[in-house]
Amino acid sequence: MSDDQKRVFSGIQPSGEAHLGNYLGAIRNWVELVDEYDCIYCIVDLHAITGDFEPDEMPRQVFDLAVSLLAAGLDPERCTLFVQSDVPEHAELMWILNSVTPLGDLTRMTQFKDKSARQESVGAGLLNYPVLQAADILLYRGELVPVGEDQLQHLELTREIARRWNHRFGEVFPEPEPLIGGGARILGLEGVSKMSKSRGNTIRLLAEPEEIRDRLSAAVTDPARVRLSDPGNPNVCNVFALHGHFSDGETREEVEVRCQTADIGCVACKERLAENMGEQLRPIRERAKELKANPDRVYQILEAGAERCREIASETLEEAYELMGLRRRHVPDAVRADADGAGSGS
Protein backbone atom coordinates (compact mmCIF):
# COMPACT_ATOMS: atom_id res chain seq x y z
CA MET A 1 0.00 0.00 0.00
CA SER A 2 1.86 3.08 -1.17
CA ASP A 3 0.91 6.73 -0.72
CA ASP A 4 0.15 7.33 -4.40
CA GLN A 5 -2.32 4.44 -4.65
CA LYS A 6 -5.96 5.43 -4.90
CA ARG A 7 -8.08 4.22 -2.02
CA VAL A 8 -10.87 1.72 -2.54
CA PHE A 9 -13.53 1.25 0.14
CA SER A 10 -16.49 -1.07 0.26
CA GLY A 11 -18.72 -2.83 2.78
CA ILE A 12 -21.00 -5.81 3.23
CA GLN A 13 -23.63 -6.56 5.86
CA PRO A 14 -23.32 -9.59 8.14
CA SER A 15 -27.05 -10.24 7.93
CA GLY A 16 -26.87 -13.87 6.82
CA GLU A 17 -24.24 -15.67 4.82
CA ALA A 18 -22.71 -14.20 1.68
CA HIS A 19 -24.61 -15.33 -1.42
CA LEU A 20 -23.88 -15.44 -5.13
CA GLY A 21 -25.30 -11.93 -5.64
CA ASN A 22 -22.74 -10.58 -3.17
CA TYR A 23 -20.00 -12.63 -4.76
CA LEU A 24 -20.69 -11.82 -8.42
CA GLY A 25 -21.78 -8.22 -7.76
CA ALA A 26 -19.06 -7.19 -5.34
CA ILE A 27 -16.68 -9.63 -3.63
CA ARG A 28 -15.16 -10.97 -6.84
CA ASN A 29 -14.28 -7.41 -7.87
CA TRP A 30 -12.93 -6.61 -4.41
CA VAL A 31 -10.40 -9.43 -4.83
CA GLU A 32 -9.29 -8.17 -8.24
CA LEU A 33 -8.68 -4.62 -7.03
CA VAL A 34 -6.16 -5.35 -4.28
CA ASP A 35 -3.11 -5.32 -6.56
CA GLU A 36 -3.80 -1.89 -7.98
CA TYR A 37 -5.31 0.03 -5.08
CA ASP A 38 -5.14 0.52 -1.33
CA CYS A 39 -8.26 -1.49 -0.53
CA ILE A 40 -10.21 -1.31 2.70
CA TYR A 41 -13.14 -3.68 3.13
CA CYS A 42 -15.59 -3.53 5.99
CA ILE A 43 -18.09 -5.91 7.59
CA VAL A 44 -20.80 -3.39 8.40
CA ASP A 45 -22.41 -4.74 11.56
CA LEU A 46 -23.81 -1.31 12.53
CA HIS A 47 -25.78 -1.34 9.28
CA ALA A 48 -27.04 -4.84 10.00
CA ILE A 49 -28.77 -3.73 13.21
CA THR A 50 -31.15 -1.55 11.17
CA GLY A 51 -32.95 -4.77 10.18
CA ASP A 52 -34.02 -7.85 12.15
CA PHE A 53 -31.14 -9.36 14.06
CA GLU A 54 -30.39 -11.59 17.04
CA PRO A 55 -27.61 -10.37 19.38
CA ASP A 56 -26.69 -13.99 20.12
CA GLU A 57 -26.18 -14.73 16.45
CA MET A 58 -24.34 -11.58 15.44
CA PRO A 59 -20.79 -12.65 16.45
CA ARG A 60 -21.20 -15.87 14.48
CA GLN A 61 -22.51 -14.01 11.43
CA VAL A 62 -19.59 -11.61 11.50
CA PHE A 63 -17.15 -14.51 11.81
CA ASP A 64 -18.79 -16.49 9.01
CA LEU A 65 -18.76 -13.49 6.71
CA ALA A 66 -15.09 -12.80 7.46
CA VAL A 67 -14.38 -16.43 6.60
CA SER A 68 -16.29 -16.15 3.31
CA LEU A 69 -14.48 -12.98 2.31
CA LEU A 70 -11.04 -14.37 3.09
CA ALA A 71 -11.90 -17.67 1.43
CA ALA A 72 -13.14 -15.83 -1.67
CA GLY A 73 -9.59 -14.53 -2.07
CA LEU A 74 -9.12 -11.37 -0.01
CA ASP A 75 -5.49 -11.56 1.03
CA PRO A 76 -4.96 -9.81 4.38
CA GLU A 77 -1.37 -9.07 3.35
CA ARG A 78 -2.60 -7.01 0.42
CA CYS A 79 -5.78 -5.38 1.71
CA THR A 80 -7.42 -4.36 4.97
CA LEU A 81 -10.46 -6.18 6.35
CA PHE A 82 -12.19 -5.03 9.53
CA VAL A 83 -15.49 -4.86 11.41
CA GLN A 84 -17.28 -1.50 11.46
CA SER A 85 -18.16 -1.43 15.19
CA ASP A 86 -14.47 -1.88 16.04
CA VAL A 87 -13.93 1.67 14.78
CA PRO A 88 -16.26 4.00 16.72
CA GLU A 89 -15.45 6.93 14.41
CA HIS A 90 -17.98 5.60 11.85
CA ALA A 91 -20.89 6.47 14.11
CA GLU A 92 -19.32 9.80 15.04
CA LEU A 93 -18.80 10.92 11.46
CA MET A 94 -22.30 9.80 10.60
CA TRP A 95 -23.68 12.21 13.19
CA ILE A 96 -21.61 15.02 11.71
CA LEU A 97 -22.80 14.23 8.19
CA ASN A 98 -26.42 14.22 9.36
CA SER A 99 -26.06 17.97 9.75
CA VAL A 100 -25.67 18.48 5.99
CA THR A 101 -28.11 15.77 4.83
CA PRO A 102 -31.63 16.91 3.91
CA LEU A 103 -34.40 14.67 5.23
CA GLY A 104 -36.01 14.62 1.78
CA ASP A 105 -32.88 13.00 0.31
CA LEU A 106 -33.23 10.14 2.77
CA THR A 107 -36.96 9.53 2.40
CA ARG A 108 -36.65 9.28 -1.38
CA MET A 109 -34.03 6.47 -1.27
CA THR A 110 -35.40 3.40 -3.07
CA GLN A 111 -33.95 0.98 -0.53
CA PHE A 112 -35.57 2.90 2.33
CA LYS A 113 -38.93 2.97 0.57
CA ASP A 114 -38.70 -0.70 -0.29
CA LYS A 115 -37.60 -1.90 3.14
CA SER A 116 -39.87 0.39 5.14
CA ALA A 117 -42.87 -0.77 3.10
CA ARG A 118 -42.16 -4.32 4.24
CA GLN A 119 -41.94 -3.42 7.96
CA GLU A 120 -44.65 -2.62 10.44
CA SER A 121 -42.52 -0.30 12.51
CA VAL A 122 -39.73 1.61 10.77
CA GLY A 123 -36.72 2.58 12.88
CA ALA A 124 -34.81 5.83 12.39
CA GLY A 125 -31.72 3.71 11.68
CA LEU A 126 -33.24 2.53 8.42
CA LEU A 127 -33.73 6.13 7.32
CA ASN A 128 -30.20 7.16 8.31
CA TYR A 129 -28.62 4.03 6.87
CA PRO A 130 -27.16 5.83 3.81
CA VAL A 131 -25.61 8.52 6.01
CA LEU A 132 -23.70 5.82 7.88
CA GLN A 133 -22.68 4.39 4.52
CA ALA A 134 -21.41 7.82 3.47
CA ALA A 135 -19.48 8.04 6.74
CA ASP A 136 -17.88 4.63 6.08
CA ILE A 137 -16.50 5.77 2.76
CA LEU A 138 -15.61 9.36 3.62
CA LEU A 139 -13.85 8.45 6.86
CA TYR A 140 -11.14 6.83 4.74
CA ARG A 141 -11.40 9.38 1.94
CA GLY A 142 -12.39 6.48 -0.30
CA GLU A 143 -12.19 7.36 -3.99
CA LEU A 144 -13.49 4.18 -5.60
CA VAL A 145 -16.32 2.03 -4.29
CA PRO A 146 -16.88 -1.41 -5.86
CA VAL A 147 -20.56 -2.30 -5.43
CA GLY A 148 -23.51 -3.89 -7.19
CA GLU A 149 -26.04 -1.75 -9.04
CA ASP A 150 -28.40 -1.60 -6.03
CA GLN A 151 -25.94 0.67 -4.20
CA LEU A 152 -25.64 3.34 -6.91
CA GLN A 153 -28.24 5.60 -5.38
CA HIS A 154 -26.51 5.49 -1.99
CA LEU A 155 -23.24 6.31 -3.70
CA GLU A 156 -24.77 9.32 -5.44
CA LEU A 157 -26.04 10.51 -2.06
CA THR A 158 -22.57 10.03 -0.57
CA ARG A 159 -21.16 12.30 -3.28
CA GLU A 160 -23.83 14.88 -2.55
CA ILE A 161 -23.13 14.75 1.19
CA ALA A 162 -19.37 15.14 0.57
CA ARG A 163 -20.04 18.14 -1.70
CA ARG A 164 -22.30 19.83 0.84
CA TRP A 165 -19.94 19.25 3.74
CA ASN A 166 -16.88 20.45 1.82
CA HIS A 167 -18.75 23.53 0.62
CA ARG A 168 -19.81 24.46 4.14
CA PHE A 169 -16.66 23.62 6.11
CA GLY A 170 -13.66 23.06 3.80
CA GLU A 171 -12.26 20.51 1.37
CA VAL A 172 -11.80 17.27 3.31
CA PHE A 173 -13.69 14.58 1.44
CA PRO A 174 -13.14 13.40 -2.14
CA GLU A 175 -16.32 12.53 -4.05
CA PRO A 176 -16.20 8.75 -4.44
CA GLU A 177 -16.91 7.00 -7.73
CA PRO A 178 -18.74 3.67 -7.97
CA LEU A 179 -17.02 0.71 -9.62
CA ILE A 180 -19.56 -1.64 -11.15
CA GLY A 181 -18.39 -5.08 -12.26
CA GLY A 182 -19.76 -7.78 -14.53
CA GLY A 183 -22.45 -9.13 -12.16
CA ALA A 184 -24.01 -5.78 -11.32
CA ARG A 185 -27.51 -7.18 -10.73
CA ILE A 186 -27.88 -10.88 -10.07
CA LEU A 187 -31.49 -11.99 -9.96
CA GLY A 188 -32.84 -14.32 -7.30
CA LEU A 189 -33.89 -17.88 -8.06
CA GLU A 190 -37.46 -16.80 -8.87
CA GLY A 191 -35.91 -14.69 -11.65
CA VAL A 192 -37.76 -11.48 -10.78
CA SER A 193 -36.16 -9.46 -7.99
CA LYS A 194 -32.48 -9.15 -7.10
CA MET A 195 -30.88 -11.99 -5.20
CA SER A 196 -31.14 -10.89 -1.61
CA LYS A 197 -30.84 -12.35 1.87
CA SER A 198 -34.13 -10.79 2.91
CA ARG A 199 -36.04 -12.37 0.02
CA GLY A 200 -34.79 -15.91 0.60
CA ASN A 201 -34.02 -16.37 -3.10
CA THR A 202 -30.29 -16.95 -2.78
CA ILE A 203 -27.62 -19.59 -3.24
CA ARG A 204 -25.02 -19.40 -0.48
CA LEU A 205 -21.47 -18.77 -1.62
CA LEU A 206 -20.33 -21.70 0.54
CA ALA A 207 -23.14 -24.06 -0.49
CA GLU A 208 -22.04 -27.68 -1.02
CA PRO A 209 -22.74 -29.21 -4.49
CA GLU A 210 -25.76 -31.04 -3.12
CA GLU A 211 -27.28 -27.78 -1.86
CA ILE A 212 -26.46 -25.96 -5.11
CA ARG A 213 -28.27 -28.67 -7.08
CA ASP A 214 -31.21 -28.53 -4.73
CA ARG A 215 -31.54 -24.74 -4.86
CA LEU A 216 -31.17 -24.63 -8.63
CA SER A 217 -33.82 -27.28 -9.14
CA ALA A 218 -36.39 -24.76 -7.90
CA ALA A 219 -35.04 -21.89 -10.06
CA VAL A 220 -37.47 -20.34 -12.52
CA THR A 221 -36.46 -20.58 -16.21
CA ASP A 222 -38.18 -19.20 -19.32
CA PRO A 223 -41.80 -19.00 -18.09
CA ALA A 224 -43.11 -19.58 -21.63
CA ARG A 225 -41.43 -22.99 -21.79
CA VAL A 226 -44.06 -25.30 -20.37
CA ARG A 227 -43.28 -28.67 -22.00
CA LEU A 228 -39.92 -30.23 -22.76
CA SER A 229 -40.76 -30.01 -26.47
CA ASP A 230 -41.31 -26.21 -26.29
CA PRO A 231 -38.31 -24.26 -27.56
CA GLY A 232 -36.90 -21.95 -24.86
CA ASN A 233 -35.60 -18.41 -24.95
CA PRO A 234 -32.24 -18.17 -23.13
CA ASN A 235 -32.41 -14.36 -23.19
CA VAL A 236 -35.21 -14.35 -20.64
CA CYS A 237 -33.89 -17.27 -18.59
CA ASN A 238 -32.13 -16.55 -15.30
CA VAL A 239 -30.51 -19.98 -15.26
CA PHE A 240 -28.89 -19.18 -18.60
CA ALA A 241 -27.73 -15.84 -17.16
CA LEU A 242 -26.03 -17.78 -14.35
CA HIS A 243 -24.34 -20.03 -16.91
CA GLY A 244 -22.72 -16.79 -18.08
CA HIS A 245 -20.84 -16.57 -14.78
CA PHE A 246 -19.94 -20.21 -14.21
CA SER A 247 -19.77 -22.08 -17.53
CA ASP A 248 -17.22 -21.75 -20.31
CA GLY A 249 -18.03 -20.30 -23.73
CA GLU A 250 -18.44 -23.67 -25.37
CA THR A 251 -20.98 -24.90 -22.82
CA ARG A 252 -22.90 -21.63 -22.99
CA GLU A 253 -23.13 -21.80 -26.76
CA GLU A 254 -24.21 -25.41 -26.72
CA VAL A 255 -26.87 -24.82 -24.07
CA GLU A 256 -28.12 -21.73 -25.90
CA VAL A 257 -28.59 -23.53 -29.20
CA ARG A 258 -30.05 -26.71 -27.72
CA CYS A 259 -32.48 -24.75 -25.54
CA GLN A 260 -33.77 -22.82 -28.54
CA THR A 261 -34.30 -26.07 -30.47
CA ALA A 262 -35.85 -27.88 -27.49
CA ASP A 263 -32.99 -30.36 -27.66
CA ILE A 264 -32.10 -29.88 -23.99
CA GLY A 265 -34.59 -29.54 -21.14
CA CYS A 266 -34.39 -27.20 -18.17
CA VAL A 267 -33.53 -30.04 -15.79
CA ALA A 268 -30.46 -31.03 -17.80
CA CYS A 269 -29.47 -27.40 -18.30
CA LYS A 270 -29.63 -26.81 -14.53
CA GLU A 271 -27.65 -29.99 -13.93
CA ARG A 272 -24.82 -28.66 -16.13
CA LEU A 273 -24.91 -25.33 -14.31
CA ALA A 274 -24.90 -26.98 -10.88
CA GLU A 275 -21.86 -28.99 -11.82
CA ASN A 276 -19.90 -25.99 -13.08
CA MET A 277 -20.96 -23.78 -10.20
CA GLY A 278 -20.01 -26.43 -7.65
CA GLU A 279 -16.64 -26.90 -9.29
CA GLN A 280 -15.85 -23.17 -9.68
CA LEU A 281 -16.69 -22.49 -6.06
CA ARG A 282 -14.85 -25.52 -4.70
CA PRO A 283 -11.57 -23.67 -3.86
CA ILE A 284 -13.58 -21.10 -1.88
CA ARG A 285 -15.36 -23.83 0.09
CA GLU A 286 -12.08 -25.56 0.81
CA ARG A 287 -10.35 -22.40 2.02
CA ALA A 288 -13.37 -21.62 4.18
CA LYS A 289 -13.07 -25.00 5.90
CA GLU A 290 -9.41 -24.32 6.69
CA LEU A 291 -10.22 -20.88 8.06
CA LYS A 292 -13.09 -22.18 10.18
CA ALA A 293 -10.66 -24.60 11.76
CA ASN A 294 -8.43 -21.69 12.73
CA PRO A 295 -10.72 -18.99 14.18
CA ASP A 296 -7.92 -17.23 16.09
CA ARG A 297 -6.23 -16.41 12.81
CA VAL A 298 -9.46 -14.86 11.49
CA TYR A 299 -9.84 -12.67 14.58
CA GLN A 300 -6.18 -11.61 14.35
CA ILE A 301 -6.77 -10.44 10.79
CA LEU A 302 -9.86 -8.46 11.82
CA GLU A 303 -8.07 -6.89 14.77
CA ALA A 304 -5.05 -5.87 12.67
CA GLY A 305 -7.46 -4.34 10.15
CA ALA A 306 -9.32 -2.41 12.84
CA GLU A 307 -6.06 -1.07 14.25
CA ARG A 308 -5.03 0.37 10.90
CA CYS A 309 -8.50 1.78 10.31
CA ARG A 310 -8.77 3.44 13.73
CA GLU A 311 -5.61 5.36 12.94
CA ILE A 312 -6.84 6.65 9.58
CA ALA A 313 -10.35 7.30 10.89
CA SER A 314 -9.28 9.33 13.92
CA GLU A 315 -7.13 11.57 11.73
CA THR A 316 -9.98 12.35 9.34
CA LEU A 317 -12.45 12.90 12.14
CA GLU A 318 -10.08 15.23 13.97
CA GLU A 319 -9.76 17.34 10.82
CA ALA A 320 -13.54 17.47 10.40
CA TYR A 321 -14.12 18.43 14.04
CA GLU A 322 -11.49 21.16 13.79
CA LEU A 323 -13.09 22.71 10.69
CA MET A 324 -16.50 22.62 12.36
CA GLY A 325 -15.21 24.45 15.40
CA LEU A 326 -15.65 21.41 17.62
CA ARG A 327 -13.36 19.63 20.05
CA ARG A 328 -10.99 22.58 20.52
CA ARG A 329 -7.97 21.55 22.50
CA HIS A 330 -6.71 25.12 23.16
CA VAL A 331 -8.33 28.15 24.75
CA PRO A 332 -9.92 29.94 21.79
CA ASP A 333 -8.54 33.43 20.97
CA ALA A 334 -11.85 35.14 21.78
CA VAL A 335 -12.04 33.47 25.18
CA ARG A 336 -8.39 34.33 25.86
CA ALA A 337 -8.97 37.98 24.90
CA ASP A 338 -11.97 38.19 27.23
CA ALA A 339 -9.99 36.60 30.02
CA ASP A 340 -7.06 38.96 29.47
CA GLY A 341 -9.44 41.93 29.40
CA ALA A 342 -11.12 40.85 32.63
CA GLY A 343 -7.71 40.32 34.23
CA SER A 344 -6.37 43.75 33.32
CA GLY A 345 -9.56 45.45 34.56
CA SER A 346 -9.30 44.15 38.11
**Using CB under 6 A as the criterion, which residues of the chain lie in contact with ligand TYM when the complex forms?**
9-13, 21-22, 25-26, 44, 47, 133, 136-137, 145, 147-148, 150-151, 154, 183-186, 194-196
Which is nearer to ligand TYM, 151 or 221 (by Cβ)? 151
Catalytic residue among 197, 270, 289, 292: 197
Give me the least distance between CB of 84 and ligand TYM, in Å please: 8
Which amino acid makes up residue 52? D
Instruction: Judge whether 113 counts as a catalytic residue.
Output: no
Which is nearer to ligand TYM, 153 or 233 (by Cβ)? 153
Which is nearer to ligand TYM, 105 or 150 (by Cβ)? 150
Q: Are 101 and 333 in contact (CB under 8 A)?
A: no
Give me the least distance between CB of 112 and ligand TYM, in Å please: 11
Cβ contacts of 160-166, under 8 Å, gap ≥ 24: 160/105, 161/97, 161/100, 161/101, 161/131, 161/134, 162/134, 162/138, 164/100, 164/101, 165/96, 165/97, 165/100, 165/138, 165/320
Which is nearer to ligand TYM, 280 or 294 (by Cβ)? 280
Which is nearer to ligand TYM, 186 or 281 (by Cβ)? 186
Give me the least distance between CB of 185 and ligand TYM, in Å please: 5
Which is nearer to ligand TYM, 9 or 37 (by Cβ)? 9
Which is nearer to ligand TYM, 157 or 259 (by Cβ)? 157
Give me the least distance between CB of 101 and ligand TYM, in Å please: 15
Give me the least distance between CB of 108 and ligand TYM, in Å please: 16
Give me the least distance between CB of 230 and ligand TYM, in Å please: 28
The residue sitting closest to ligand TYM, measured at its beta carbon, is 25
Instruction: Judge whether 6 counts as a catalytic residue.
Output: no
- Please report the sign of the dihedral spanned by the C-alpha atoms of residue 147, residue 148, residue 150, residue 153: positive
Give me the least distance between CB of 136 and ligand TYM, in Å please: 4
Catalytic residue among 6, 113, 115, 270: 115
Residues 6+ apart with CB under 8 A from 32: none
Which amino acid makes up residue 291? L
Catalytic residue among 6, 194, 270, 289: 194
Instruction: Judge whether 194 counts as a catalytic residue.
Output: yes
Which active-site residues does the annotation give?
A: 115, 194, 197
